[in-house]
Amino acid sequence: MKTYRIHLIRHGVTKDNIEGVYCGITDTPLCDEGKDQLREMKDEYSYPGAQFLFTSPLTRCKQTAEILYPDLKPIVIDGLTEYNFGEFEGKTAEELQKKQPNFEPWLRGEPGVRPPFGESNEDFANRVCSSFVKIVDGVIKTGTEDLIIVTHGGVISTILSNFGLPEASVSDWLTPPGCGYTIRVSHFLWMQGHKFEVIKEIPEISSDETQGNYYDGWDYYPNDDDFDVSEYLYD
C-alpha cells in the first residue's frame, strides 16, 4: 500500500523565544543564535529530504527553510501561521497573570475564551486542521511521497494532537526549535478516520550523540511558535 511522508519542522530560535514572551503572528526573525544553531544542527545531524517544501508566511519559518533547505523553493501556506495571541503578543505569562483577567481561563482551555483581539483555541485549531487536511488530500491526489513543512510549535502540536497516532495531548507534542517529526500517511487510514502515524523525530540523533548536545534527547527548549494544494504540486 502506498504511503506518504510529511516532515513537520519547527522554526529556529528567536529573540522572543529566549525572552519567554508570547509570539504568534508577530513577524519576528531568527536571532543570530538561532541561525547559528540551525547551521550546526544541519552539519551534525540528519534532516530529511523531500520533493516539496511548504512554510508559514512568517519570516522565522522562511529563514529556517532557507538555512535547512537552500535548494528547495518554499511554497507559502497562510493557514500554517502561528496562533494569533492578540494583546498577549510580546508579553510573558507573569505579566499576563497580573493584567489580563481572561489569561488563566484561556490557559486552562475554557471554551470560547480568547486573548483580546486574538484567536480562540477553537478558531486556531479549526484553521490549522482545515489547512492540514487540504495539504494531505493534495499530497495523496498528486502522489507526492515526501513533503517538508516548516512551521511553528503551536501548529505542529495541534496537527499531531488532532490527527496523530499514538494519540496524545497538545502539551505532549511540544517541539524544540529546529526539531520536529516525520509522519506517515496511508491512504486507507487517512480516508477512514483522518489519522496518520508519527514514526520518527527530526533531526535523527543517535542515542550516543544526545549526551550534552542541544536538547539532550528532546528535553524542551527552556524558554518556550482556502487553497487546493494540488495546484501547487507538480504545477
**pLDDT > 70? residue 231:** no
**pLDDT > 90? residue 233:** no
**Rounded to 5°, angle at Cα 130 from 129 and 134:** 110
pLDDT of 109: 87
Structure letter (DSSP) for residue 86: G
C-alpha cell at 215: 536538547
| pTM of the predicted protein model | 0.88
**pLDDT > 50? residue 230:** no
Q: What is the DSSP string of 165-196?
A: ES---GGGG---TT-EEEEEEEHHHHHHHS-E
pLDDT in tens, 58-72: 999 999 999 999 999
pLDDT in tens, 75-125: 999 999 999 999 999 999 999 999 999 999 999 889 889 999 999 999 999
Contact 182, 48 (CB under 8 A): yes
Contact 6, 185 (CB under 8 A): yes
pLDDT of 208: 56
Query: In the beta sheet, which residues pair with residue 148?
Result: 7, 53
Q: Which CATH number fits domain 3-83+120-231: 3.50.50.60, 3.30.360.10, 3.40.50.300, 3.40.50.1240?
A: 3.40.50.1240
pLDDT in tens, 12-40: 999 999 999 999 999 999 999 999 999 99
pLDDT in tens, 188-229: 999 999 999 999 999 987 655 544 444 444 443 333 444 344
